[in-house]
Amino acid sequence: MNSPLQTYLLTQKDNLNTAMVAYVANLEQVAKVKPSIARDIVNELENQRSHLKLIASENYCSLATQAAMGNLLTDKYAEGYPEHRYYGGCVNVDSVEMTAAREAEKLFGADYAYVQPHSGADTNLVAYWAILSAKVETPTLEELGVKSLNDLTAEQFDALRVKFCNQKLMGLDYSCGGHLTHGYKMNVSARMFDSYPYGVDKETGLLDYDAIEKQAMEVKPLILLAGYSAYPRSINFRRFREIADKCGAVLMVDMAHFAGLVAGKVFTGDEDPVKWADIVTTTTHKTLRGPRGAMILCKEEFADYVNKGCPMVLGGPLPHVMAAKAIAFKEANTKDYQDYAHNVQANAKALASACQKRGMKLQTGGTDNHLMLIDIYSTYGLTGKQAEAAMFQCGVTLNANALPYDPMGAWWTSGIRVGTPAITSLGMNTTDMDEIADILDYVLKGTKAGLTKDGKPAKGKVIVDAIVQENAKKRVKAILSKYVLYPELDLDFLKKHFVK
């Protein structure tokens, strides 16, 4: 009997679909060992093709990026950094890492790039410890007249540890759109640092730079941190720089969410963090559209410190993912990508105004970036969690998100976060945004809260009207049929051979 690959090749005539050949060949290898994993991969393709992805932190990376990840580079240990490794035989990993780093520096105009971090959470830890090393450890060693930590007595080392843990961090409050790693109590960042979060203005929902300055002058943090997971506006980093200089802080920016808008030259000048910050961290898989991972961009002053991400925080790097980062950075340094980034923003603005036209209340009254926060409770009487569940039943993925100072708290929430990076990667444009806003409004109007066992409204349960659900699904399907994810891949063939 022919294998799936042989069968596929037999169906091909003059026009060999090489992407599909590679996919089938890979899945065939996987299925030989564990068919259910090949099945799950194909089912995920079907899932992603059949849902409208409005999750602001997700995207679709290229098949080239995926191919760079799926290979033997994963087998290599390469602790250290290029040309300074704790393992032999790293010449090719050195080449991969240096290529990715130089591509990142070119793309963002950065002094130095460190491309090893595996995720946004650990890249922030690496950045924190690079700053602590530069600003606390080095001066302490100099004061004591020793060269290395190993020269300290046990008492001196203990005193240094106390010093590390008494430094102040000032980042955007989690409840106002900051990330967990920016000093939230449940995260190691608030246990490592003395955390003094700043908020957004209660009336406008906007960052109030004068209030941040006032707070920073009182707190005098070691690190002033800008960046967010859920804030729908651009940030003036020149202003943040002024504040950091005035209060003597290191300026760190976590641009995980909007890195693609920086790479794509949507955010330039005062809105470009790389120009103004000492250290910039980012994930590579959100608007930037690369593999799941992260990196640091920094001024020369911090390069030697971030290079010590391993052994400080990280173990061995993931060479296959660094290879994929190199591909994604190269792809992002093109006119096509710049057009994409501008379309992400144009689609977000169009979607925001289409939602407002239908009576939805948007946090800050709109968006400048790739995301918006919609106050669901005040418009539809539903929690964010209920809206998330109702939309999922109708083929739309998005997430519940707390609004600033949300009375419903961080779990149930009054709001949802909606983003355009993924749908723009599919090719959708501003004319499609009206239909998407209409589907959201149609479903949410046709949804009511489910009931608890004792008949009270349940915050997490929904009942979506059956006809609304059926119609909404049809409408989602109609849009997605115009913009097929990875059109090179023949889903029917893959299902027939790998989903049994």
Residues labelled catalytic: 77, 79, 254, 283, 286, 292
Q: Rule CB under 6 A: is residue 404 a binding residue for ligand PLP? A: no
Q: Rule CB under 6 A: is residue 254 a binding residue for ligand PLP? A: yes
Q: Which is nearer to ligand PLP, 58 or 194 (CB)?
A: 58
CB of 179 to ligand PLP, least distance (A): 4
Integer Cα distance of 294 and 309 in angstroms = 12
Integer Cα distance of 394 and 196 in angstroms = 41
The SS3 of residue 42 is: helix
CB of 225 to ligand PLP, least distance (A): 10
Q: Which is nearer to ligand PLP, 80 or 419 (CB)?
A: 419
CB 451 within 8 A of CB 381: no
Listed ranges 250-258, 321-329, 412-420, 441-449: which one lies at the site for ligand PLP (CB under 6 A): 250-258
Per the omega criterion (within 30 degrees of 0), is the bond before 311 cis? Answer: yes
DSSP 413: -
Neighbouring residues of 33: CB distance < 8 A, sequence distance ≥ 6: none
The SS3 of residue 268 is: coil
Q: Rule CB under 6 A: is residue 257 a binding residue for ligand PLP? A: yes
> Binders of ligand PLP among 71-130, rule CB under 6 A?
119-121
CB 361 within 8 A of CB 374: yes
Q: Which is nearer to ligand PLP, 9 or 180 (CB)?
A: 180
Token output for 447: 């949804």
Size of the site for ligand PLP (CB under 6 A): 13
Q: Rule CB under 6 A: is residue 57 a binding residue for ligand PLP? A: yes
Q: Which is nearer to ligand PLP, 189 or 424 (CB)?
A: 189
Q: Rule CB under 6 A: is residue 252 a binding residue for ligand PLP? A: no
The SS3 of residue 61 is: coil
Integer Cα distance of 316 and 318 in angstroms = 7
Residue nearest to ligand PLP according to CB distances in the complex: 120
Q: Which of 31, 126, 253, 256 binds ligand PLP (CB under 6 A)?
A: 256
Q: Which of 283, 343, 379, 386 binds ligand PLP (CB under 6 A)?
A: 283
Task: For residue 298, count CB atoms less than 10 angstroms from its CB and return exposed for 0-12, middle for 13-18, buried for 19 or more.
Answer: buried
Dihedral, CA of residue 238, residue 273, residue 121 and residue 88, to nearest 10: -130
Q: Which is nearer to ligand PLP, 379 or 413 (CB)?
A: 413
Token output for 118: 């595996």
CB of 262 to ligand PLP, least distance (A): 13
Q: Rule CB under 6 A: is residue 229 a binding residue for ligand PLP? A: yes
CB of 228 to ligand PLP, least distance (A): 6
CB 286 within 8 A of CB 328: no
Q: Rule CB under 6 A: is residue 287 a binding residue for ligand PLP? A: no
Listed ranges 65-73, 253-261, 429-437, 481-489: which one lies at the site for ligand PLP (CB under 6 A): 253-261
DSSP secondary structure string for all residues of 338-366: HHHHHHHHHHHHHHHHHHHHTTPEEGGGS
Q: Which is nearer to ligand PLP, 55 or 93 (CB)?
A: 55
Q: Which is nearer to ligand PLP, 280 or 436 (CB)?
A: 280
> Binders of ligand PLP among 157-216, rule CB under 6 A?
179, 181
CA angle 265, 270, 275 (to 5 degrees): 75
Q: Which residue ranges make up the site for ligand PLP (CB under 6 A)?
A: 57, 119-121, 179, 181, 227, 229, 254, 256-257, 283, 294
